[in-house]
């Protein structure tokens, strides 16, 4: 118990000496420093146009990465101008202003002490701009899975290190060589910012353990089980919990991850890996909601327990995602921390007092909360009075846009979550191919949510309502398909989803819930590629979607034209250079049902970027892609059956990390004309050139999309729909994406000879068939609908996903009893030849004297 006491003492000290992280004003966010951008994009393939844009972003005179490097390296006390220019001019001054040269050394020391002492509590937390960006780092820009190969680990590490240094720079400009150097050597420890809770747990007072039986005896009934902890938060207390858990608000309402959860008998899965910002649980400032769960009074709580606080229940979340600690994905083994947390619950790690692992909490910048509260009637949740929403004829359609790494996805998720407090269902349109919120990427899709999602994107894969598979992380290679897919989905939304007849609502207890169920609002998340073609695409999306709430992230990269280009009248750009008339679209494709003048009702919000920390730079967008793809294949996604909802289905989603992907028993299915899989589409680079004879070579080992094609389509129509594979055929918009699959082997029954191909298509349509072994997380319910596959080679299984991580790699053994020569797709010879590496484009290289 003494340890606990010590922790309490520390927590008390911390809370008294420092303002809570949430109440502190974080440094105004800056978008990624230009240097980091450069670093990142150097290795990543994206368009020339983007690179030009990027290179032009830093303010001209001296804010280039090299300048910074030089500055950092200069051993003399030559103090550079501090990087205020990376902050918005309007924000408060960075803490460290130009110190006098003499004071330099002492400052260095102080800084070092403060930075590296693990004992230092929350007081520094101010200094570290905390961050709330998470999955949005999965910018869509064309970094086509660059450094996922473990062969390039070293490089990746270097990159990360480089990144860290730069991220850390604003804090340590005055201590020129010191901490940055250390950063390189001791990455794990130094960032242990004591971002901690100011909640002071005292058993029996504000924390009480309860067994499963006691809970269910009290009246708790839901899809989760297990013992739990009941906590009571006082008004100004906050609590940070890392790991994963089930959160059930019991009385009043709480805020977490910029969203409000009220006590409406529902429980929420919370995912808070240390790789992402950790959500802070705090009582909601909204006073009106005094509601509590009906069975609260039946809970047998100790007499001293503070029942007047905000009460909530924490339970274990047995979804299996913490199985990552077995090492399935290199670099992500420790993001769920140890198995059992301090409170004895599996996967629940309260961050109280000093915390051994560096974490950074989710912070809601002021502009975010303003935008959220002014656009959404947060406090009107319980009231039945008509809000301006219902009175307005137009349902909510919001679009979130901004450059990469600014917190787009995080913010979009907050809107979604907050809307779900008000509406029964909310639609989500994913336009970010780089990292989808509910899929591993490469998809434009429409999801309908009936439950808040709290956690980074890889923790909630879901089957889309309707989606199109483009199979690439960037729209650069397929702008036309990209836009037409989005247009198609928006039409579907407007015709089929937006207005629901109340009686169609799946929820039976329409009256019991006060939520709106005849309107489904829409949240549109866009890609972070905002320059060049990306800008044109964004504008197209906006014109098609006709949003009435526009959330734009500010960043230092935004120039004036950046801002204006998104307004309605910003079309002056479209008469210029090259790309502007493409992709073609028709803005008047729908009858304007709801209003005659959209523009007047359109609301625009300017948002500041999420604050950034050095910790963020531990993982690159490519790392997160590896994470989401591999964890996807370890998952089994449950889909709703006839008598339950998306939410309960989601609670059944499980991850199984007990064995590597190569040891998961595959599905077997036949392909061929009139077989289960009767359509194969190859899209992406080089697709038109792939011969029928090579089909099995093209498919083997690849990641494909399982799709449902329109069965009613008359065969033998002009698009040759009757055939299994036609060179250069593109899936129609009727094709619906269901999920990804890994083709782990393919056997061709028919020996369609070369001659038959050369002779034409006639006889080859008859015989091609074979058997596919594939792995997919989608449920049998969904799998039933699948009758076709789409392959685009740009999304492939990352190298760690091909390996058996349960055994050490060595030269003799190979993999799974196959020696290395017989392991497909992996080469251990180590031969290096000219041009033998993946492509790298030169980017943002400067000329001497510029």
Partner 1 sequence: MKAPKRTPWSSRSELEELFEMLFSPSADVDSRRKGVARMSIYISSPSCPTFIHLLHSLVSVELLPYPPRGIEENQRLRMMIGMAVVRFINGLVDPLQNGPYARPISHLAASLSIPPSLIALRHQATHEDLPPLPLLHQALGQCIAYLHHYSFLPLLATSSSTLPPGVEERLRASEKRVESLTRRWKKVIKTRLREKEVREEDQSAIEMRKIQRDLTNEPTDVIVDVLVGQGGLVPLAITKRATFNANSPTTPSLKIWLPLLSYLTETAHPDLITRLSSNILDLLLNPSYDYSSGFKYNVGVSVDTEGQKEDKESFKWNLAVWLIWFWSTSNDSVNFILSEEDKSEFSRRIISVMIDFHDDIVIRRLFKAISSTSGSKLNGMDNLLPDPELEEDGLKGLEVDAEISGDDNLDQMENRLKQFEQLANSRKSAPTTKAISKNQISTLPDANTIDDEIPGWHRSTSQEWNPCPIGCSGRA
Residues 295-324 that bind partner 1 (CB under 8 A): 316, 318-323
* Segment interacting with partner 1, rule: CB under 8 A, options 307-315, 374-382, 550-558, 837-845: 837-845
CB of 238 to partner 1, least distance (A): 28
Name the nearest CA neighbour of 73 among 180, 168, 177.
177
Cis geometry, peptide bond prior to residue 583 (ω within 30 degrees of 0): yes
In whole angstroms, what is the distance from residue 699 CA to residue 680 CA?
A: 9
Binding residue for partner 1, selected from 335, 378, 420, 815, defined by CB under 8 A: 815
Nearest distance, CB of residue 737 and partner 1, angstroms: 18
Give yes or no for a contact between 298 and 219, defined as CB atoms under 8 angstroms apart: yes
CB of 844 to partner 1, least distance (A): 10
Q: Does 802 bind partner 1 (CB under 8 A)?
A: yes
Torsion region of 110: left, alpha or beta (phi above 0 gives left; psi -120 to 50 gives alpha): alpha
Give, as ranges, the residues between 39 and 68 that touch partner 1 (CB under 8 A): 65-66
The residue among 343 and 360 lying less far from partner 1, judged by its C-beta, is 343
827 binds partner 1 (CB under 8 A): yes
Three-class secondary structure of residue 240 per DSSP = strand
Question: What's phi and psi for 760, nearest 5 deg?
Answer: 125, -175
The reply to whether 755 sits near partner 1 by the rule CB under 8 A is: no
* Cβ proximity of 239 and 231 under 8 Å: yes
Sole binder of partner 1 in the list 629, 783, 789, 790 (CB under 8 A): 783
Contact flag: residue 793 with partner 1 (CB under 8 A): yes
Residues 169-208, one symbol each (x = binds partner 1 by CB under 8 A, - = not), give ----------------------------------------
Instruction: Return the SS3 of 548.
Output: coil
CB of 742 to partner 1, least distance (A): 7
- The 380-409 contact track toward partner 1, x by CB under 8 A, reads ------------------------------
The torsion region of residue 204 among left (phi > 0), alpha (psi -120 to 50) and beta comes to left
Rank residues 242 and 629 by Cβ distance to partner 1 and give the closer one. 629
Phi and psi torsions of 715, nearest 5°: -75, 150
Residue 151 or 570 having the CB closest to partner 1: 151
Alpha-carbon gap, residue 813 to 807, rounded angstroms: 10
Q: What is the Cα–Cα distance from 248 to 102, expressed in whole angstroms? A: 55
Distance in Å, CB of 666 to partner 1, minimum:
5
Nearer to partner 1, 323 or 403 (CB): 323
When binding is defined by CB under 8 A, the residue of 129, 170, 797, 805 that contacts partner 1 is 797
Edge to edge, what strands does the sheet with 397-401 contain? Answer: 466-469, 443-449, 426-430, 522-525, 397-401, 549-553, 603-607
CB-nearer residue toward partner 1: 97 or 641: 641
**H helix or E strand, kind and range, residue 348:** strand 348-350
- Binding status of residue 648 toward partner 1 by CB under 8 A: no
Q: Which stretch binds partner 1 (CB under 8 A): 106-114, 422-430, 521-529, 807-815?
A: 807-815
How is residue 815 annotated by DSSP?
B
Residue of the chain from 46, 414, 418, 792 that contacts partner 1 (CB under 8 A): 792
CB of 268 to partner 1, least distance (A): 19
Contact residue for partner 1 among 697, 715, 716, 734 (CB under 8 A): 697
CB of 324 to partner 1, least distance (A): 11
Considering only 13, 676, 730, 733, the residue that binds partner 1 (CB under 8 A) is 676
Q: How far apart are CA 700 and CA 824, in angstroms?
A: 10
Residues 613-642 that bind partner 1 (CB under 8 A): 636, 638
Reduced 3-state DSSP string for 250-277: CECEEEECCEEEECCCCCEEEEECCCCC
Strands 228-233 and 207-210, sheet pairing? antiparallel
Stretch near partner 1 under the rule CB under 8 A, chosen from 200-208, 361-369, 522-530, 831-839: 831-839
> Minimum distance from CB of 656 to partner 1 (Å)?
5
Q: Which of residues 263-302 bind partner 1 (CB under 8 A)?
A: none
Taking alpha carbons only, the member of 642, 626, 400 closest to residue 528 is 400
Of 162-170, 304-312, 360-368, 835-843, the window that binds partner 1 (rule: CB under 8 A) is: 835-843
Nearer to partner 1, 377 or 684 (CB): 684
DSSP element (H, E) containing 683:
strand 679-683
Q: Which stretch binds partner 1 (CB under 8 A): 133-141, 293-301, 536-544, 689-697?
A: 689-697
Q: How far is the CB of 66 from partner 1 (least distance, A)?
A: 5
What is the rounded radius of gyration, in angstroms, for the C-alpha atoms of the chain? 27
- 196 Cβ contact partners less than 8 Å away, ≥ 6 residues apart: 11, 14, 121, 122, 125, 240, 351, 352, 353, 354, 355
Cβ 327 to partner 1, closest distance in Å? 15
Neighbours of 542 (CB within 10 A): 19
Q: What is the DSSP letter of 644?
A: S
Half-sphere exposure of 49 (CA within 13 A, CB side): 14
Residues 729-748 that bind partner 1 (CB under 8 A): 742, 744-745, 747
Q: Does 5 bind partner 1 (CB under 8 A)?
A: no
Stretch that binds partner 1, among 358-366, 498-506, 611-619, 811-819 (CB under 8 A): 811-819
Task: For residues 527 and 533, give the distance between their C-alpha atoms in angstroms, rounded to a whole number.
Answer: 12
Residue 584 in contact with partner 1, rule: CB under 8 A: no
Site residues for partner 1, 144-163, by CB under 8 A, read: 144-146, 148-151, 153
The answer to the question of residue 830 lying near partner 1 (CB under 8 A) is yes
**If we measure between CA atoms, which residue out of 146, 163, 174 comes closest to residue 624?**
146
Of the candidates 615, 609, 614, 616, the residue with the CA atom closest to the CA atom of residue 29: 609
Q: Which two tokens stand for residue 638?
A: 């449950």
Give the per-residue SS3 of 501-544.
CHHHCCCCCCCCCCCECCECCEEEECCCCCCCHHHHHHHHHHHH
- Nearest Cα to 842, choosing from 166, 164, 60, 38? 38
Give residue for tokens 């990352």: 798
- Under rule CB under 8 A, residue 841 binds partner 1: yes
Question: Would you count residue 325 as binding partner 1 (CB under 8 A)?
Answer: no
Which listed residue (81, 97, 308, 668) binds partner 1 by CB under 8 A? 668
- Is there binding between residue 698 and partner 1 (CB under 8 A)? yes
Residues 326-355 that bind partner 1 (CB under 8 A): 346
One of 116, 295, 585, 820 touching partner 1 (CB under 8 A): 820
């Amino acid at each position: 118990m003494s340890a606990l006491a010590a922790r309490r003492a520390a927590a008390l000290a911390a809370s008294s000496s420092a303002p809570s992280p949430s109440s502190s004003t974080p440094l105004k966010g800056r978008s990624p420093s230009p240097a980091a951008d450069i670093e990142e994009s150097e290795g990543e393939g994206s368009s020339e146009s983007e690179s030009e844009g990027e290179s032009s972003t830093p303010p001209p005179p001296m804010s280039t990465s090299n300048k910074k490097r030089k500055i950092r390296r200069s051993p003399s006390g030559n103090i550079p101008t501090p990087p205020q220019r990376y902050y918005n001019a309007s924000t408060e001054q960075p803490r460290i202003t130009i110190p006098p040269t003499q004071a330099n050394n002492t400052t260095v020391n102080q800084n070092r002490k403060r930075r590296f002492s693990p004992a230092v509590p929350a007081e520094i937390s101010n200094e570290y701009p905390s961050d709330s960006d998470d999955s949005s780092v999965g910018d869509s820009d064309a970094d086509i899975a660059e450094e996922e190969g473990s062969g390039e680990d070293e490089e990746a590490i270097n990159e990360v290190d480089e990144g860290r240094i730069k991220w850390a720079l604003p804090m340590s400009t005055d201590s020129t060589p010191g901490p940055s150097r250390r950063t390189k050597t001791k990455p794990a420890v130094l960032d242990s910012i004591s971002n901690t809770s100011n909640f002071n747990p005292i058993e029996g007072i504000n924390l009480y353990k309860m067994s499963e039986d006691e809970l269910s005896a009290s009246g708790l009934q839901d899809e989760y089980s297990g013992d739990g902890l009941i906590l009571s938060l006082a008004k100004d207390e906050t609590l940070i919990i890392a790991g994963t858990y089930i959160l059930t608000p019991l009385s009043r309402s709480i805020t977490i991850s910029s969203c409000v959860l009220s006590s409406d008998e529902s429980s929420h899965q919370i995912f808070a890996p240390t790789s992402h910002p950790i959500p802070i649980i705090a009582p909601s400032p909204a006073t009106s909601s005094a509601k509590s769960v009906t069975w609260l009074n039946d809970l047998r709580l100790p007499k001293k327990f503070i029942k007047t606080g905000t009460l909530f229940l924490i339970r274990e979340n047995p979804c299996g995602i913490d199985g990552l600690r077995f090492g399935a994905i290199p670099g992500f083994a420790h993001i769920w921390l140890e198995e059992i947390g301090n409170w004895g619950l599996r996967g629940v790690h309260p961050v109280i007092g000093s915390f051994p692992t560096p974490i950074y909490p989710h912070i809601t910048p002021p502009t975010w909360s303003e935008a959220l509260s002014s656009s959404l009637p947060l406090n009107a949740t319980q009231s039945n009075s008509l809000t301006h929403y219902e009175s307005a004829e137009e349902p909510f359609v919001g679009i979130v846009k901004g450059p990469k790494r600014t917190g787009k996805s995080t913010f979009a998720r907050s809107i979604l979550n907050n809307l779900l407090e008000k509406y029964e269902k909310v639609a989500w349109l994913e336009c970010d191919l780089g990292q989808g919120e509910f899929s591993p990427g490469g998809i434009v899709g429409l999801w309908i949510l009936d439950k808040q999602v709290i956690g980074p994107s890889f923790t909630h894969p879901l089957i889309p309502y309707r989606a199109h598979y483009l199979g690439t992380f960037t729209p650069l290679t397929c702008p036309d398909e990209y836009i037409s897919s989005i247009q198609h989905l928006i039409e579907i939304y407007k015709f089929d989803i937006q207005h629901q007849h109340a009686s169609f609502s799946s929820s039976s207890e329409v009256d019991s819930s006060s939520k709106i169920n005849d309107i489904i609002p829409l949240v549109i998340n866009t890609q972070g590629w905002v320059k060049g073609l990306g800008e044109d695409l964004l504008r197209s999306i906006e014109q098609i979607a006709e949003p009435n709430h526009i959330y734009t992230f500010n960043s230092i990269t935004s120039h004036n034209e950046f801002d204006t280009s998104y307004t309605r009248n910003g079309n002056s750009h479209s008469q210029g250079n090259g790309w502007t008339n493409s992709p073609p679209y028709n803005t008047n494709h729908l009858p304007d049902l709801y209003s005659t003048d959209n523009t007047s009702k359109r609301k625009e919000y300017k948002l500041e970027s999420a604050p950034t920390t050095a910790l963020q730079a531990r993982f690159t967008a490519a790392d997160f892609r590896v994470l989401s793809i591999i964890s996807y294949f370890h998952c089994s996604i449950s889909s709703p059956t006839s008598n339950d909802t998306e939410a309960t289905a989601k609670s059944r989603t499980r991850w199984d990390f007990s064995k590597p992907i190569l040891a998961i028993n595959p599905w077997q299915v036949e392909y061929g004309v009139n077989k289960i899989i009767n359509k194969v589409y190859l899209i992406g680079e080089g697709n038109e050139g792939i011969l029928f004879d090579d089909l099995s070579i093209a498919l083997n080992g690849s990641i494909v999309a399982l799709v449902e094609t329109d069965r009613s389509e008359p065969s033998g129509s002009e698009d040759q729909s009757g055939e299994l594979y036609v060179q250069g055929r593109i899936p129609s918009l009727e094709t619906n994406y269901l999920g990804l699959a890994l083709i782990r082997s393919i056997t061709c029954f028919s020996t369609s000879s070369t001659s038959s191909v050369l002779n034409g298509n006639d006889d080859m349509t008859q015989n091609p068939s074979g058997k596919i072994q594939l792995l997919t997380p989608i449920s049998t319910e969904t799998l039933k609908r699948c009758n076709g596959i789409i392959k685009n080679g740009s999304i492939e299984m990352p190298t760690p996903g091909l390996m058996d991580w349960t055994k050490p790699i060595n030269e003799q053994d190979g993999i799974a009893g196959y020696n290395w020569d017989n392991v497909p797709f992996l080469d251990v010879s180590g031969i290096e030849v000219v041009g033998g590496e993946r492509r790298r484009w030169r980017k943002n290289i400067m000329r001497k004297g510029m």
